[in-house]
Amino acid sequence: MKQVFWIGTLAFLLSACSDQEAPQTAIEDDTAAAPPAVEEPLDTPVQTEAVADEIQEAVEESAAEPEPEEETIMLAQAEVPAASRDWQFKEGQHYHRLVPTQPTVGGADKIEVAEFFWYGCPHCYDFEPAINGWVKDKPQNVRFVRIPAMWNGILQLHAKLYYTEEVLARNGAIKDPAAFHEAVFQEYHRRNNRLTSEGSIQSLFERYGVSADVFTRTWNSFEVAQKLRVAEDLARRYSIASVPMIVVNGKYRTGGAEAGSYPKLLEVIDELVARESVR
């Protein structure tokens, strides 16, 4: 059963598909004491009255002189680095920090922005144009990856579809990966083809020029199986319970509900990328 959380007029933006909503299928040091002081013998001559008067006068003059005022000690202060500037978004409100920082799909050469999604999620479908636009203008030091959610049988099936699609696109069997990715969304949300079987998924690939043999070999390949294991492990490490969800560099997790809207979510992503860029 689906639950929809209405938050003012941004209800459709703040909602997300959760793992409870997806359709189910079977498939301190001590110090030593100082030694006692040794008294010196009194062998100095007795002072005369005149000498005593001079000493008394000197003492009085000295006491009459005002003591110099204490100078204020100024401590040097370091300049505030750019990294400690004020940030617009707050931890615990607009995003959550993962402690400890978790692994990412790619290496440490770039800042990784990962989107967890599901082809059958209407919110992922609505978010798709926004995230695609962001990817086109993303900073050069950023790597964007998609990771399919895998809560149950149907999501696992669609995750396998996604990674089969990814491998075939890299191998050149799918000429336009972006168009194919969009076609899967359209197939589910516009053509009511839920893609609930391997056969229906194969038919979709064949429509895009992938032969049955190439599809089957890729679908059952070790590479696809390994990608599925990594996706499942990362979802557990990141505590992904709804989609669409964004994880920045294995350190920050955020989504539409935390940000307040999808346009604001893109701003949160930009700020988290900036935080990682100056550390």
Q: What is the pLDDT of residues 59-74, one digit of tens each?
A: 444 444 455 454 444 4
Q: In angstroms, rounded to a whole number, what is the distance separating the alpha carbons of residues 119 and 89?
A: 29
The matching CATH number, chosen from 3.10.620.30, 3.30.70.3000, 3.40.30.10, 3.30.930.10, for 8-12+89-278 is 3.40.30.10
Q: Whole-model pTM?
A: 0.75
Beta-carbon count within 10 A of 35 CB: 6
Give how far Cα 35 sits from Cα of 31, 38, 39, 41, 243, Å.
12, 9, 12, 18, 75
Strand partners, 35: none
Residue 201, Cβ density class (10 Å: 0-12 exposed, 13-18 middle, ≥19 buried): buried
pLDDT in tens, 2-11: 443 334 434 4
Of 216, 220, 239, residue with least CA distance to 149 = 239
Q: In angstroms, rounded to a whole number, what is the distance separating the alpha carbons of residues 97 and 85?
A: 19
Boundaries of every domain in the chain: 8-12+89-278
Summary mean pLDDT of the chain = 82
- Predicted confidence band of residue 20 (pLDDT cuts 50, 70, 90): confident
Q: In angstroms, rounded to a whole number, what is the distance separating the alpha carbons of residues 117 and 137?
A: 21
Residue 175, Cβ density class (10 Å: 0-12 exposed, 13-18 middle, ≥19 buried): exposed
DSSP per-residue letters across 123-148: HHHHHHHHHHHHHHT--TTEEEEEEE
